[in-house]
Amino acid sequence: MIENQGAWADILYGKDSDYAIVNNWAYRSGMNNSGCGVIAVINALNSLGGNLSGEEVAQMIRDFETNGITMDGAIGTSPMAIYDYMRDRGYDASGNHVPVTVNKL
């Protein structure tokens, strides 16, 4: 179980981008700032009996950086990416997903 997210500052999360540079976003921040979604998945999988190795955790971070970061990682991981990640690995995540409809006023 990861309970020390603050200690993950040296592990970068996200990617450099022109968007981030132009808009002065804190891109490629550490997992301490932007990795809470990934850490939640790690903790969930460990709680469900998975004992993830360091390489499996590194691969998960790469997977989310490739398909799941929001605003190049500046604000973390998309909740839908977490839902998809768990579902694609055979977990029932249906109770955690609530579709949202936004209507123009």
pLDDT in tens, 41-98: 999 999 988 889 999 999 999 999 888 887 777 778 998 899 889 888 888 776 655 5
Based on the structure, what is the number of domains in the chain? 1
| Three-state DSSP state, 29 | strand
Of 3-7, 26-30, 78-82, 91-95, minimum mean pLDDT range:
26-30
Q: What is the span of the domain harbouring residue 38?
A: 5-89
Angle at 44 between CA 42 and CA 48, to 5 degrees: 115
Taking the CB of residue 61, how many other CB atoms lie within 10 A of it? Answer: 19
Compute, in degrees rounded to 10, the torsion defined by CA atoms 32, 38, 44, 48: -120
Q: Is residue 102 part of a domain?
A: no
Task: Tell me if 37 is assigned to some domain.
Answer: yes
Tell whether 75 is covered by a domain: yes
Q: CA distances (Å), 34 to each of 15, 51, 100, in order?
A: 12, 23, 23
Q: Is residue 105 part of a domain?
A: no
60 lies in some domain: yes
Q: What pLDDT, on a 0 to 100 scale, did the predictor assign at position 38?
A: 93
- For residue 104, tell me if it sits in a domain: no
